[in-house]
Structure 1
Amino acid sequence: MKRRALPLLVLAALALAGVPALSQTRPIRLIVPYAAGGPIDITARALAERVKDSLGTVIIENRAGAGGNIGADAVAKAAPDGLTIGIAATATHAVNPWLYSRMPYRADADFAPITQMLRVPNVLVINAETAQRLNIHTLQDLIAYARANPGRLNYGSGGNGSAGHLAGELFKSQAGIFAVHIPYNGGNPAQLALLSGQVDFNFDNLATASANIRAGKLKALAVTTLKRAPALPQVPAVAETLPGFAVDTWWGLVAPAGTPKEVLARLNQAFVAALQAPETQTRFAALMAEPVPTTPEEFGAFMKAELAKYEKVVKASGAKVD
């Protein structure tokens, strides 16, 4: 039998079995709900390249806007045939449903999970000169100073409802402290304010903060993952002081609700293999991103837990987008 006849026989067998097969000729569209060039876009493109042998061509489509809601909505409303998949992220599937007054999709019902992709630690950093002046060298020192001096410390973020803001509010709540939140128009202005001493500490993305940590301009007190980050093994996790504290930046792959389980299983198998490839892990390590391949069920349970967690955090912060 000729080799080229095999794919046709496989497709025919799947059709007879009632299993919808991913097209061998039509490309898969992977919607990234953020602009090109960022970490989520870069990692999506890297994985799309690695799965082309098993899934065929995967085309990246950037649909940015409304904090990721526009792209996520495009995935939710696509045909559930496995030919349109997308990125689910902390913002689109855990924060935005509580931050925005009106949502175009239901984060808990309009998507079928495929696999978690990556998580990137955030890190609690303090201005190095401030740390020296106030004798704050550990997370315990920061908490003790804040408790003894209510309102004397402040922290910056990239804006109300941003990851840095919500991490700060969760930290204040669990530590039993009060620090003034100063929102900036984006992560870069917030980091510049920290470096210049206008604010005392920030919760920043590790990839963004790492250069200034190495240069000694910022002091890393703790990472926000549940366990220590491989990129900063000497820096403790906040959870070592405040048990259960975890505020990761994460993203993964989802399909529209109703996508057949057999199709989801095939997508999961291909993308999990790509995430586990040593070359992929080395490439993502440069972005301070840790691959987290999961089953669809595990990713679904994780997103459900994150949605419930951020309901409390967003409501406590008072942040709202109309």
Structure 2
Amino acid sequence: MSETLETTYRDALRDAIREAMRADDRVFLMGEDVGDYGGCFAVSLGLLEEFGPERVRDTPLSESAFVGADIGAAIGGMRPIVEIMTVNFSLLALDQIMNNAASLLHMSGGQFNVPLVIRMTTGAGRQLAAQHSHSLEGWYAHIPGLRVVTPATLEDARGMLATALRDPDPVLMFEHGSLYPMKGTLATDAGAVDIDHAAVRRPGTDVSLITYGGSLGKALAAAALLDQDGVSADVIDLRTLRPLDDTAIVESVRRTHHAVIVDEGWRSGGISAEISARIMEEALYDLDAPVERVCTAEVPLPYAKHLEEAALPQPPGIAAAALRTLG
């Protein structure tokens, strides 16, 4: 039986990076403020001192330039880990991510893989206002050629990176900013985890709460509220948004016959719409009521705390949606 230690989400990520860099000389970290400053969210704190400036590289404020450089390094045989400070800044590198990283294997006739991992902070709830509160992982899940993962637990924060680095194709890792200080216990021998399958975080029989990333905790809190009304919620952590684990989604819906999708992204054209469509396509006759969706209000995220909270999915609203679908 393995021992456990107290840790945080950010420390689990740092341990994953450190382990990868110790195990493989080809792995290096690159991004804004990842070196001397230790990362905007302190994930890379101490790595420069351990591995030196050749393998922990601070970059200029040009996402397009350093993501492009890392794509070139990946094609050349290296295993880059790129840190983009927040997801909104990734839009400055969207051309590199979509037209190069995601497309080169296809456009080279299978000659050039791009084994690249891009980490970025996503999500709202920290009063960072409209420009730094986006949840755009659903946008990236739209792009063929990418894998999109969303670690919501300490185990996934610790283990997804190792699996991603073994992938011959680009992997985007979306870390919800509210999770970095999350505390818990982790096995001392925790390592690589599966990134192909969703996970049942709480089994239930009456309604499926389907979510990922920073919304998992809210879905679990909503399940606890539903318990008080005698409702048993099956909480599904998608973990990977591209490719979606259709089997896990459909199996849950077939158990409960009711579904609520919780997504911090906007409702229109978002990942929640895609999941809802797949449920309709694959499990329509297993449903006893229409699928409910709980998403962020369709506004630029407010700075004021009470307005931001009102705009985001919250446990009482998730529980209310579940009760609506149960009639």
**TM-score, normalised by the number of residues in structure 2:** 0.29
Larger RCO (CA under 8 A, 6+ residues apart):
1
Name the structure with the higher helix share: 1
Q: Which of these two proteins has the greater Rg computed from alpha carbons?
A: 1
**TM-score, normalised by the number of residues in structure 1:** 0.29
